[in-house]
Amino acid sequence: MPPLDPPNLDDRRFQDVVDETKRLIPRFTPEWTNHNVSDPGVALVELFAWMSEMVLYRVNQVPERMYVHFLNLVGVEPFPPSVARTRLTFWLSAPATEPVVLPAGTSVSTVTAGGQDPVVFATSGEAVATPPVLVAARTAGPGGAASSDVWEQLHVPGETVVCFPSLPIVDGDALYLGCRDRLADLALRLDVTAHAEGIGVDPSRPPLAWEVWAGEGWVPTVVEDDTTGGLNRDGTVVLLVGDRHVPLTLGGTTAYWLRARLLGTDDGRPAYQASPRVGSVRLRTVGVSVPAEHAQAMGTEVLGRSDGRPAQRFAVAATPVAARRADERVVVVDHTGAHEWDEVPDFSTSGPHDRHVVWDSATGEVRFGPAVRQPDGRTRQHGAVPADGAQVRVTGYRTGGGARGNVGARTLTSLRSALPSVRAVTNRVPATGGVDAETVEEAKVRGPLALRAGQRAVTAGDFEQAARQASVEVARARCLPADPGDSGGPVHVLVVPQVRSDPRTHTIDDFALSPTLLDTVAAELDRRRTVGVAVGLGAPFFHGVSVAALVRAVPGRPVTAVRERVVAAVARFVHPLVGGADGAGWPFGQTLTATAVAQVAESVDGVLAVDEVALFGYDLRNGVRVGEGRESLAIGADTLLLSAEHRVVVR
């Protein structure tokens, strides 16, 4: 429990009590005239004043503690911190010739600087870097048309393979490479010998996409490095494959396929005038990626022995405890053997023989079921009771979490223990999801709302609250009731995820909902909805907005600085998470007006006046303005505004 800020029911301190007592001396003992600190009586006064201050301090704690205890009694407990997560890529010292195993729990930290403690992450599972084996190669047109087997050509000295067979070359032509085993989570290096036939492209930005088959479609890999200039010269291509890769049958061959697909040129990149030709391709594993989290793994821990009574409590050594994984369980060992007990949120539905426990994440306390007296005098046991003398232990848990774990990209670079086959480690993407524990003040605000809403979602506000409580990764939620003309239609819940980087850098892709977050929120809404109510879950529409403004600066102020401050203020004002008049995010469906933007610009330090403001729609995918400037920008009830490119002229 975080420290409590005591209320001042009695705000007297040590010196206040001493002064008040000295003022009473002439009334009760007028013969006592020496009030100096050297007097023994004054020393006694100061002693009792010190004791009184301690009593007052404890009295001031009572109301807050009672409030917290009342919340706990009705099942409202402060949320524990959540752990930040990211993916670590371990780079091998040499290409793998046999499987290289990285054990679960491998620790990596930030580099210490300025006397601060490092932020430590641990891998969530075991990672294996396996050497890939190429078994097939094909070329094909868009959608797999005109597929040709080129496996033999890649193995005949002097022969070359035309990567993109269509004439003329069209978007979707691809070179397919089939492997015997899955490539998920691997960092691959393709050693390529090629001939400079694919002229006309920018070698630093070739119009190629490297993709793998993930079961429901092709998903892109991350191109870490490409020295081939778009398969135009001898070199290497380093790829980071995601966590999904499944087999696919192409041309009668079942394999795990990797492909290089030709992209269109709508983004301004020049196209190939002729197809590149490849003489040979060799595939090697040079690294492996694995999920990691800001938590320290703790091993098996014995909590104590049961005395056979209901409502027993045991505590683990380290707190707070991260959300438990499938292999982190409570085990009771008695004369019949070792038995795993199931963790439940509470004992309200537990019967007397159900092996249920409640594991408090904030305090680390493991609780067994209580015996509850019924109106007829009988006692009902909620949850089984471990036998007298039984050992209670946990198979393991993880401790840690908090906003401190939201470190930036490429900051986790220090291995905490030596790994013989690893030369370096890094995180390509920032760590996200770390949230500090809920404070007592926050729990006091949430508690009454939770009690009023109950356990069922009925109103739009109930659905929104349920979505927000489902995960700390939910920043905002909006419930749109069913169409009044469709009595059986679903309610639609729109979720905006937390994005903890600089708001000025946010793009539409930052607000994409991950499958994990969707599943978590969907499960909570399904549990809370009433029978017969269908719920649709998704993300809101994001309408891009670009502002053009002409402002005058206060004489003597630097024009560049004023422009940057105006752009930053406008970008923050028109933002899904921190925008709007109250800074809580732009309201769903609210129209943006030039007047409101002008007021924001005028409040910026250094701005004398705003002469003109025009609003433009903005295509967030293609990065271009849409339509003419206008005075207002209206959006639908399921839409949020997202700031885009702003142009501010300061004179």
For 224-278, the pLDDT digits (tens) are 999 998 888 899 999 999 999 999 998 889 999 999 988 866 555 667 777 888 9
User: β-strand 391-394 against 330-334: which pairing, if any?
Assistant: antiparallel
What is the model's pLDDT at position 453? Answer: 58
The more confident residue out of 457 and 544 is 544
Q: What is the mean pLDDT of residues 401-412?
A: 90
Q: Is 161:173 a contact under the CB 8 Å cutoff?
A: no
Structure tokens at 138: 């094909």
DSSP E strand stretches across 180-274: 186-195, 208-213, 218-220, 222-226, 235-240, 248-250, 253-262
Q: How far apart are CA 236 and CA 193, in angstroms?
A: 9
DSSP E strand stretches across 454-569: 474-480, 491-497, 535-538, 541-553
Q: What is the largest CA-CA distance in the chain?
A: 119
Burial string for 282-302 (b: 16+ CB within 10 Å, else e) reads ebbbbbbbbebbbbbbbeeee
% of the chain with per-residue pLDDT over 70: 90
What is the model's pLDDT at position 30? Answer: 83
For residue range 527-550, what is the model confidence (pLDDT) as tens digits? 888 888 889 999 999 999 999 999
| Of 85-94, 389-398, 565-574, 620-629, minimum mean pLDDT range | 620-629
Q: What is the CA radius of gyration of the chain?
A: 33
Answer whether residue 495 shows pLDDT above 60: yes
pLDDT band at 146; cut points 50, 70, 90 = low
Answer whether residue 4 shows pLDDT above 50: no
What is the model's pLDDT at position 329? Answer: 95
Answer whether residue 132 shows pLDDT above 50: yes
Q: How far apart are CA 93 and CA 288, in angstroms?
A: 12
Q: What is the mean pLDDT of residues 116-133?
A: 92
For residue range 73-88, what is the model confidence (pLDDT) as tens digits? 766 777 788 889 999 9
Strand partners, 46: none
Cis (ω within 30 of 0) for the bond into 168? yes
pLDDT band at 196; cut points 50, 70, 90 = low
Q: Is 332:392 a contact under the CB 8 Å cutoff?
A: yes
The more confident residue out of 42 and 481 is 42
What is the model's pLDDT at position 478? Answer: 94
What is the model's pLDDT at position 449? Answer: 67
Strand partners, 427: 88
What is the model's pLDDT at position 98? Answer: 94
Q: What is the mean pLDDT of residues 33-48?
A: 84
What is the model's pLDDT at position 436? Answer: 85
Residues in Cβ contact with 113 at an 8 Å cutoff, skipping those fewer than 6 apart: none
What is the model's pLDDT at position 450? Answer: 67
pLDDT band at 500; cut points 50, 70, 90 = confident
Across the chain, what does the average pLDDT equal? 87
Answer whether residue 8 shows pLDDT above 70: no
Q: What is the mean pLDDT of residues 139-156?
A: 82
In angstroms, the Cα distances linking 634 to 302, 480, 619 are 61, 18, 15
Structure tokens at 532: 């017969």
What is the model's pLDDT at position 68? Answer: 66
Q: What is the mean pLDDT of residues 463-483?
A: 86
Q: What is the mean pLDDT of residues 582-597?
A: 92
Answer whether residue 7 shows pLDDT above 60: no
For residue range 359-395, what is the model confidence (pLDDT) as tens digits? 988 889 999 999 998 888 889 999 999 999 999 999 9
Backbone angles phi and psi of 585, in degrees to 5: 110, 145
pLDDT band at 346; cut points 50, 70, 90 = confident
The more confident residue out of 607 and 432 is 607
% of the chain with per-residue pLDDT over 90: 48
Backbone angles phi and psi of 260, in degrees to 5: -110, 110
pLDDT band at 19; cut points 50, 70, 90 = confident
What is the model's pLDDT at position 145? Answer: 67
Q: What is the mean pLDDT of residues 145-170?
A: 79
What is the model's pLDDT at position 649? Answer: 93
Q: What is the mean pLDDT of residues 302-325?
A: 93
Q: Is 499:509 a contact under the CB 8 Å cutoff?
A: no
Q: What is the mean pLDDT of residues 144-159?
A: 82
What is the model's pLDDT at position 1? Answer: 45
What is the model's pLDDT at position 651? Answer: 87
Answer whether residue 139 shows pLDDT above 60: yes
Answer whether residue 188 shows pLDDT above 60: yes
Q: How far apart are CA 433 and CA 172, in angstroms?
A: 37
Q: How far apart are CA 189 and CA 405, in angstroms?
A: 31
If 0-12 CB within 10 Å is exposed, 13-18 middle and 19+ buried, where does residue 74 land?
exposed
